[in-house]
């Protein structure tokens, strides 16, 4: 019998931690039952493991009982790290011990899956350096600042590389669990779990859920002014040469400073601002695709569709249909 270890973190948890632990435990338990009932030969022992017999979660609102201490597990096949509070401290004494154990298990052949902000714990081990990783889009700026050696992919819902799995934000951990059920059991078991727990199969992107907030957490005042100017000229097509000259700086240096501060080129930033405005119009008004397109400064429908799809993963029409009930009656 193989072994799945679901980590009960020591502190720095939230309600998402509770959901991840409970959800993963329930779905894998049901997968075990279905797989065995349908002739599967090898199932998994699923255990919640921590460094204490009882671990308070979400500020003490919940207690989770460790079925085993991590120190008692000499070998496991899959380690699941649940969501954590966004203020994760890699130097926390309890979590430091868990990170050390996870690193040792990975070197001994175990695979690791992180859910949402659980990626912070795994990244603190160094095991994600040079690898692709996803986490909640809302934590992207902080994650990049703390772990610059990790290739953060905020658009990806799930990454799978060298026995390490990561996923995007919040309750998208359910999609990761389905992905792992298919990988560790089979497709039919994953389909069964999808139907029983009513989780959409094969979701690949968290792009439609990203809310672009403007990437203002930096100290470059010139870039902040450039951002404000771009946001104030929503209907216009801004020349980057004109914008850089407005701040008396060469285009190359302007681009370099903008990328360093925001993670986007000035053109990408302008596109994301326009797309975010278009998304809000699609969500809250009955305007047509063309009306919204013109409002955000595009005159070419093909170009608008391409840019919109690049940042959301779906077409403008599909986005409006999904998020605006009134638009369905047009």
**160 shares a domain with 256:** no
CATH of the domain at 255: 1.10.10.60
In the predicted model, what is the mean pLDDT of residues 228-243? 89
**23 shares a domain with 124:** yes
In the predicted model, what is the mean pLDDT of residues 157-171? 92
**199 shares a domain with 258:** no
Question: Is pLDDT of 330 > 90?
Answer: no
User: Which residues have a Cβ under 8 Å from the Cβ of 15 and sit 6 or more positions away?
Assistant: 58, 61
Least confident piece of the model among 14-28, 89-103, 166-180, 286-300: 89-103
**248 shares a domain with 198:** no
Question: Is pLDDT of 325 > 80?
Answer: no
**291 shares a domain with 184:** no
Question: Is pLDDT of 100 > 80?
Answer: yes
Burial (CB < 10 A; 0-12, 13-18, 19+), residue 185, is buried
The residue among 175, 207, 239 that closes a domain is 207
In the predicted model, what is the mean pLDDT of residues 309-316? 91
Instruction: Look over the chain and give the mean of its residue pLDDT values, rounded to a whole number.
Output: 90
Please state whether 297 falls in left (phi above 0), alpha (psi between -120 and 50) or beta. Answer: left
What pLDDT is recorded for position 329?
Answer: 54
pLDDT above 90 covers what percent of the chain?
A: 67
In a domain, 225, yes or no: yes
Other residues' Cβ atoms within 10 Å of the Cβ of residue 13: 26
Question: Is pLDDT of 67 > 60?
Answer: yes
**174 shares a domain with 34:** yes
Domain that holds residue 186: 2-207
Question: Is pLDDT of 253 > 70?
Answer: yes
What pLDDT is recorded for position 327?
Answer: 54
Question: Is pLDDT of 127 > 80?
Answer: yes
The residue among 157, 182, 207 that closes a domain is 207
In a domain, 29, yes or no: yes
Structural domain tally of the chain?
2
- Alpha-carbon span 2 to 43, nearest angstrom: 7
- Alpha-carbon span 201 to 231, nearest angstrom: 37
What pLDDT is recorded for position 156?
Answer: 86
What pLDDT is recorded for position 85?
Answer: 85
What pLDDT is recorded for position 59?
Answer: 85
- pTM, two decimal places: 0.72
In the predicted model, what is the mean pLDDT of residues 289-307? 94
**258 shares a domain with 180:** no
* Confidence class for position 150, pLDDT limits 50, 70, 90: very high
**178 shares a domain with 51:** yes
Question: Is pLDDT of 132 > 90?
Answer: yes
In a domain, 263, yes or no: yes
Distances 74 to 53, 71, 126, 309 between C-alpha atoms, Å: 18, 7, 21, 47
CATH of the domain at 43: 3.40.50.880
What pLDDT is recorded for position 89?
Answer: 63
In a domain, 257, yes or no: yes
What pLDDT is recorded for position 147?
Answer: 93
In a domain, 64, yes or no: yes
């Amino acid at each position: 019998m193989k072994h799945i270890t679901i980590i009960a973190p020591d502190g720095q948890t939230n309600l998402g931690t509770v959901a991840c632990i409970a959800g993963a435990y329930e779905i894998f338990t049901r997968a075990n039952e279905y797989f065995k009932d349908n002739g599967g030969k090898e199932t998994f022992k699923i255990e919640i493991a921590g460094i204490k017999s009882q671990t308070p979660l979400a500020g003490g609102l919940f207690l989770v009982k460790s079925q085993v201490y991590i120190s008692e597990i000499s070998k496991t096949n899959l380690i699941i790290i649940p969501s954590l509070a966004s203020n994760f401290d890699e130097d926390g004494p309890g979590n430091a011990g868990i990170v050390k154990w996870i690193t040792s298990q990975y070197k001994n052949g175990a695979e690791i899956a992180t859910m949402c902000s659980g990626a912070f714990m795994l990244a603190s081990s160094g095991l994600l350096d040079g690898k692709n990783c996803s986490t909640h889009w809302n934590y992207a700026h902080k994650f990049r600042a703390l772990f610059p050696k990790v290739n953060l992919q905020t658009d990806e819902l799930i990454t799978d590389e060298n026995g390490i799995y990561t996923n995007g934000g919040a309750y998208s951990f359910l999609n990761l669990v389905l992905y792992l059920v298919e990988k560790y059991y089979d497709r039919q078991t994953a389909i069964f779990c999808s139907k029983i727990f009513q989780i959409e199969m094969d979701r690949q992107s968290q792009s439609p859920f990203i809310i672009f907030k403007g990437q203002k957490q930096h100290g470059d005042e010139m870039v902040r002014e450039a951002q404000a100017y771009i946001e104030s000229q929503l209907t216009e097509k801004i020349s980057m040469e004109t914008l850089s000259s407005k701040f008396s700086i060469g285009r190359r240096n302007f681009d370099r400073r903008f990328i360093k501060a925001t993670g986007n080129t000035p053109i990408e930033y302008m596109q994301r601002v326009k797309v975010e405005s278009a998304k809000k119009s699609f969500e809250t008004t009955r305007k047509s695709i063309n009306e919204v397109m013109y409002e955000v400064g595009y005159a070419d429908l093909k170009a608008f569709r391409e840019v919109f799809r690049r940042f959301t993963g779906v077409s403008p029409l599909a986005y409006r249909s999904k998020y605006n009930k009134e638009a369905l009656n047009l």
